[in-house]
Amino acid sequence: MVMILKERVIENRIMGDPIQMLYKMVISGQAAQTATPGQFVHLQVADSNEPLLRRPLSIAGIDKNTEEVTIYYKVIGKGTELLTRIKENEYISVLGPLGTGFTVPDSGELLLVAGGIGIFPLLSLIQAVDKEKVKLKLLWGGENKQFIESAGLIDIEKMGVNLDMSTLDGSLGTKGLVTDLLESYLGDNTDTIAKPKDNGKQNLRVATCGPKGMLQAVTKICLGHNVPVEVSLEERMACGIGACLGCVCTVKDLEGNLKRKRVCKEGPVMDGKEVVWDE
């Protein structure tokens, strides 16, 4: 059942270098009770011309005890700009939590591959994984050091995840693309990949989020190494609840039949191998 909630905004502030236009918002209320990693919330932004204007934003943190959901966003247009104007202690209309999120493994190794602000939905997965039972590794690529630091590097390092980074200009981590890091990581860990566990599950699985071209490249690399990969897709969304069909993408089932899936409902997280990337 889709819920429209009134949640209290307890934090809404710019992060790091203002040029990056990255914001952190924490909302308090019922959404935290049912939210799972990889889901999103559809937030209403105040606009007198378009009273029903909403923006879908990934859930980056879930605290069921304090009933808080953390969201990060980059200002990229009118909707997100209006979001920045919401003040602490104001109430906001929240549709959700919505969509199908990531699988949370309970054993083996989880490799997370993030491109730019694609790091944010993966944070909720890092938070949810039992780090005593699952080996976690994060590969994160960004434009430069200023971006990575503004996007919360210090806090991410405190989350207990082993992290390798790449930047386009080499100002932090390895110079190049995050897919370069992925290629070399999978190349160095072929033993882990090749041995299924006793229960037949693969030891290593990948979860990724970032620009579409990067997701396609990550999927290709993972499938080339026989590693299962879940991708978090981004599409323009209107209703966010599976009704308008404005967010459909094409997938291929095991028999090779083409089907349409709604990114807001069956996704945003999907099995990388079933996504038809070049539609």
Does position 98 interact with ligand FES (CB under 6 A)? The reply is no
Tokens 């690399």 belong to which residue? 221
Size of the site for ligand FES (CB under 6 A): 12
Does position 2 interact with ligand FES (CB under 6 A)? The reply is no
Element (H, E) at 126: helix 119-128
Q: Nearer to ligand FES by C-beta: 95 or 129?
A: 95
Does position 16 interact with ligand FES (CB under 6 A)? The reply is no
Q: Nearer to ligand FES by C-beta: 108 or 246?
A: 246
In degrees and rounded to multiples of 5, residue 155 shows phi and psi of: -70, -35
Q: Nearer to ligand FES by C-beta: 237 or 270?
A: 237
Q: Classify 186 as helix, strand or coil.
A: helix
User: What is the Cα–Cα distance from 100 to 242, expressed in whole angstroms?
Assistant: 12
Q: Hey, what amino acid is at 193?
A: I
Q: Nearer to ligand FES by C-beta: 24 or 265?
A: 265
Q: What are the tokens at 26?
A: 């924490």
Q: Hey, what amino acid is at 22?
A: L
Element (H, E) at 271: strand 269-271
Does position 207 interact with ligand FES (CB under 6 A)? The reply is no
Does position 264 interact with ligand FES (CB under 6 A)? The reply is yes
Q: Nearer to ligand FES by C-beta: 26 or 237?
A: 237
Contact criterion met (CB below 8 Å) for 20 and 54: no
Contact criterion met (CB below 8 Å) for 209 and 235: no
Q: How far is the CB of 100 from ligand FES (least distance, A)?
A: 12
Does position 205 interact with ligand FES (CB under 6 A)? The reply is no
Q: How far is the CB of 241 from ligand FES (least distance, A)?
A: 7
| Residues at the site binding ligand FES, with contacts judged by CB under 6 A | 237-240, 242-247, 262, 264
